[in-house]
Amino acid sequence: MISELDRYHGLPNGMFSCDEHLAGRNPSQGSELCAVVEYMFSLEQSLAIMGDASLGDRLEKLAFNALPGTMTDDMWAHQYDQQPNQVECSLHREPWTTNGPESNLYGLEPHFGCCTANFSQGWPKFAASLFMTSAQGGLVAAAYSPCEAHIKLKGTEVHVVEETEYPFRGSIRMTVSPSRPLTFPFLLRIPGWAKGVKILVNGREESAARAGEFARVEREWKQGDRVEITFPMQPRVVAGFYGSVSVERGPLVFAYNIGQDWLKLRDRGMTADWQVYPSSRWNYALEVNPSAQSQNIAVSENALTDKPFAAEGTPAQLHVKARLLPSWTASEGVAGTLPQSPVESSEHDETITLIPYAAAKLRITSFPWLSPKTT
């Protein structure tokens, strides 16, 4: 079912279009916040049942992109529908199939109050699914985030502390402390994108683990044992709708952050409803080659703050060459259908910055890419 949704309705943020009906792969279509939360819960349950590592990849993609991507930084306002290519949030009926004109406003309960009641389940249930146990009595790192867990294995208490700046960094350190020495397998999910992962136990390298599987480390564990994982975090270019491309690094999707003017529509008690209008141009085509093994994309990093998905000082940024594409325009507040790539542009070269998807409240996530003869 996931494969079919991706094939016919998949979007670059890991969701499928559902605004309210399934609506194809155009990244200007939206996804309902309730669907993001319920999709995450379905993936958590399916991962627990099936043990399929790819379900953990999708779960992290939603948890670190689509879920925070539909909320303001203080979480006092959210959208009913979010769009990967979201160039305006205003009182338009386009491009929704049956939803109303408030669908992508940021507010207390835009369009309908279900997401207001539902979105707060997303991260707590994700946190509760970071560690699992296996049917064979092992410990499973199903997804990654800074956390602390108390788990009982074979009647023995096991305390695990995970320290990491994932998903912005690729280093993870876990301290495993059973209440007494205990032999059990520790299964570590290796994302499908993590080719060349390195695993150390107490400073000693384990045998190579394959991307897209669970690495198995079985030994007698004692208090203070350390597991260190280093995931490679090279930028990746991913093909999409009409030959377009999106850019990923680790579990994060990156987007161009469009300048924003926020216009208050109404006060709503302790919060407000907002329209958001673009204050900068957004119609860029990237100078990348989707078929190349490596891309000319530079990475810069900033210190992690208590609002990691805020646009100001994002912990990770990507820098890529691009050109404006004047023929790609918006209508009724909606980015037009992506031109079939590759495209040509006579505009001058620029280096634009991409930030994590969730940090860009107005954004372009799916880009046309330039024909090599114009670069």
Per-residue pLDDT tens digits for 72-129: 999 999 999 999 999 999 999 999 988 999 999 999 999 999 999 999 999 999 999 9
Neighbouring C-alpha atoms within 13 Å toward the C-beta of 336: 12
Mean pLDDT over 172-180 rounds to 98
Closest CA to 24 of 6, 2, 1, 43: 6
Burial class (CB in 10 A: 0-12, 13-18, 19+), 353: middle
Angle at 241 between CA 21 and CA 372, to 5 degrees: 165
pTM tops 0.85, yes or no: yes
- 158 domain-assigned: yes
Handedness of CA 248, 251, 253, 257 (dihedral sign): negative
- Tell me how many domains the chain contains: 1
% of the chain exceeding 90 in pLDDT: 94
The pair of three-digit structure tokens given for residue 346, joined into one six-digit string:
């006579």
| Strand-pair partners of 107 | 78
Specify whether the CB–CB gap between 65 and 248 falls below 8 A.
Answer: no
CA distance 155 to 88: 55
87 vs 283: CA distance, rounded Å: 10
**262, exposed or middle or buried, with CB in 10 Å at 0-12, 13-18, 19+?**
middle
Confidence at residue 375, expressed as pLDDT on a 0 to 100 scale: 57
311 occurs within a structural domain: no
Residue 295 is predicted with a pLDDT of: 82
Whether residue 205 is contained in a domain is answered as yes
More confident call, 93 vs 172:
172
Task: Identify whether 368 is preceded by a cis peptide bond (ω within 30 of 0).
Answer: no
Flag whether pLDDT at 324 surpasses 90.
yes
Domain with 154, as residue range(s), is 130-230
Looking at the domain assignment, is residue 199 inside a domain?
yes
- Name the pLDDT band for 374 (thresholds 50, 70, 90): low
The pLDDT of 190-202, averaged and rounded, is 96
SS3 call for 243: helix
The pair of structure tokens assigned to 1 is 């079912």
Summarize pLDDT for 234-243 with one digit per residue, the tens: 999 999 999 9
State the angle between helix axes of 53-61 and 33-50 in degrees (0 to 180), rounded to the nearest 10: 160
Radius of gyration, CA atoms only, the chain = 21
> For residue 366, what pLDDT band results from cuts at 50, 70 and 90?
very high
Cα(199)–Cα(197) distance, integer angstroms: 7
Cβ-based neighbours of 120, under 8 Å, separated by 6 or more: none
Question: Do 14 and 253 form a contact (C-beta atoms < 8 A)?
Answer: yes
Pairing between strand 182-189 and 235-239? unpaired
pLDDT at residue number 209: 85
Q: Is the model's pLDDT at 11 over the cut of 80?
A: yes
The mean-pLDDT minimum among 1-5, 133-137, 178-182, 290-294 falls in 290-294
Per residue in 23-51, pLDDT (tens digit) is: 999 999 999 999 999 999 999 999 999 99
Average pLDDT over residues 147-169: 97
Q: What confidence tens digit (pLDDT) does each residue in 207-216 have?
A: 878 999 999 9
The string of pLDDT tens digits covering residues 265-322 is 999 999 999 999 999 999 999 999 888 877 889 999 999 999 999 999 899 999 999 9
- Closest by Cα among 302, 305, 306 to 355: 302
Q: What is the DSSP string of 94-160?
A: TT-SS--TTTT-BBSSSS-THHHHHGGGHHHHHHHTSEEE-TTS-EEE-S--SEEEEEEETTEEEEE
| Mean pLDDT, residues 138-152 | 97
Tell me the CATH number at 218.
Answer: 2.60.420
14: left (phi over 0), alpha (psi -120 to 50) or beta: left
pLDDT score of 5:
96
